[in-house]
Amino acid sequence: MKNHRTTIHDIARELKIDSSTVSRALNNNSKVTAKTKAKVIAKAKELGYQRNLLASNLRQSKSNTIGVVVPRISRYFFSTVIAGIEESAFKTGFNVVICQSQESLEKEQAIIKNLISNRVDGVIISIAMETQNGEHLKQLKNNGIPLVFFDRFCPEVQESSQVLIDDQQAAYDAVNHLISQGCSKIVHFSGPQTLEIYKNRLRGYKLALLENNLPFKEELVINSPLMEANGYEETQKLLDAKIDFDGIFSANDIAAIGALKHLKEKGKRIPEDIAVIGFSNEPSSKVIEPPLSTIDQSAFEIGKNAYDLLIDNIKRGEKEVLHKTITLKSTLLARGSSLRKK
């Protein structure tokens, strides 16, 4: 009997009124007397009533919930974006379900399917490394569910909104910074070229070289999944191959930290022998010695903006969805790993 959840019908029966009145009372509808409301609310508390959101959402065909999909929550950038989203959501009474794709397309597809089936009102996503086409994302549009990308977006999905930073510019700034510190042979650790962010960071890298009349060398660009082990091993390979370089621009901090560790083990002086700069401003970057220069993406702001964009489109209904791209500013944080001059 423990399992019997009290419903509005239970309350109605005890109070000898109709369940519709109970429903209206609980929703503070003006068609119900204050006296009746009080009675209903008292009884509801007495019976430990908890609204069945499944039923409520089914009836209203909305869930008051948005889905957030990120590659992995253990990345500080992503968890900070989520914190930004949640702060706004909490204020406006929306619920947030957090999902991680683990960089896997298969999981991402399963997640999207599940979100649709659960009738979320909108989705905010940063796609997985494996994701190359957006078929599963188009499903969202087919179901009239607004979608907002942040950071890693999918250009194939037409008419979408996104919150980004200017990756090319940020990369350009990063590489320019290394050059200003005297680097001329700069390695670039990049990610899958299927993702726009990595393409753009590579473009920024090239542009900075070009503008400084430095040669672009194919062998200095290294693609990998950018895990710490990748940074470590690729650095090892570079050293083993006796490739001449004096700077590393890594498309994320994690790989940069891997590189740093290997360089230190090999007795390289940082930044004197090799200057290093990462991307994303992970907490570890402040902590490592020397502290890692990086790009701060104002993750919390990205979250808030993405949420606002999404809510705006949810409110609009599917009448006239607005498709905009918000570009937030990023900040170069020059720290010990690249600052050669006082």
Partner DNA sequence: GAAATCATTACAATCGATTGTGATAATATT
Partner DNA sequence: AATATTATCACAATCGATTGTAATGATTTC
Binding residues vs a second copy (CB under 8 A):
2-3, 5, 48, 50-55, 57-58, 63, 72-74, 76, 79-80, 82-83, 86, 90, 95, 97-100, 102, 107, 110, 113-114, 116-119, 139, 142-144, 257, 261, 283-284, 287-289, 317-318
Which is closer to a second copy, CB of 267 or CB of 283? 283
Residue 277, phi then psi, degrees to nearest 5: -135, 140
Token duo for residue 253: 């901090």
Given a contact cutoff of 8 angstroms between Cβ atoms, the answer to whether 186 and 249 are in contact is: yes
Which residues are CB-contacts of 102 (< 8 A; sequence separation ≥ 6)?
A: 71, 72, 128
13, 14, 43, 52: which one binds DNA (CB under 7 A): 52
Which is closer to DNA, CB of 4 or CB of 319? 4
Convert 139-148 to b/e letters by CB count within 10 Å (16 or more is b).
ebbeeebbbb
The entry of a second copy, DNA, none that residue 133 binds, CB within 5 to 8 Å by partner kind: none
Closest approach of DNA to the CB of residue 124, in Å:
24
# residues contacting DNA (CB under 7 A): 29
Integer angstrom CA distances of residue 254 from 207, 216, 224, 267:
24, 24, 12, 20
Which is closer to a second copy, CB of 58 or CB of 210? 58
Token duo for residue 116: 């649709």
Alpha-carbon gap, residue 222 to 273, rounded angstroms? 20
Which position has the token pair 């109605």? 12
Which is closer to a second copy, CB of 141 or CB of 203? 141
The entry of DNA, a second copy, none that residue 331 binds, CB within 5 to 8 Å by partner kind: none
Which is closer to DNA, CB of 17 or CB of 207? 17
3-state secondary structure of 323: coil
Alpha-carbon gap, residue 43 to 36, rounded angstroms? 11
Closest approach of a second copy to the CB of residue 117, in Å:
4
Task: With residue 202 as reference, give the H or E element that holds it.
Answer: helix 196-211
Token duo for residue 254: 């994690």
The entry of DNA, a second copy, none that residue 203 binds, CB within 5 to 8 Å by partner kind: none
The entry of a second copy, DNA, none that residue 27 binds, CB within 5 to 8 Å by partner kind: DNA
Window 53-82: residues binding DNA (CB under 7 A): 55-56, 58-61
Q: C-alpha angle with apex 29: 26 to 34, nearest 5 degrees?
A: 80
Residues 9-48: x where in contact with DNA by CB under 7 A, - otherwise, as a string: x------xxxxxx-xx-xx--xxxx-xx------------
Stretch in the footprint of DNA (CB under 7 A) among 5-13, 128-136, 201-209, 317-325: 5-13
Alpha-carbon gap, residue 234 to 227, rounded angstroms? 11
Which is closer to DNA, CB of 32 or CB of 163? 32
Given a contact cutoff of 8 angstroms between Cβ atoms, the answer to whether 232 and 259 are in contact is: yes
Which position has the token pair 């693609």? 223
The entry of a second copy, DNA, none that residue 48 binds, CB within 5 to 8 Å by partner kind: a second copy
Burial class (CB in 10 A: 0-12, 13-18, 19+), 244: exposed
Which is closer to a second copy, CB of 69 or CB of 174? 69
**Centroid of chain to Cα 65:** 17
The entry of DNA, a second copy, none that residue 143 binds, CB within 5 to 8 Å by partner kind: a second copy
Closest approach of DNA to the CB of residue 314, in Å:
16
Q: Is the dihedral of CA 21, 26, 27, 29 positive or negative?
A: positive
Which is closer to DNA, CB of 53 or CB of 229? 53
Token duo for residue 22: 């109970």
Which is closer to DNA, CB of 7 or CB of 236? 7
Chain residues binding DNA by CB under 7 A are 5, 7-9, 16-21, 23-24, 26-27, 30-33, 35-36, 49, 51-52, 55-56, 58-61
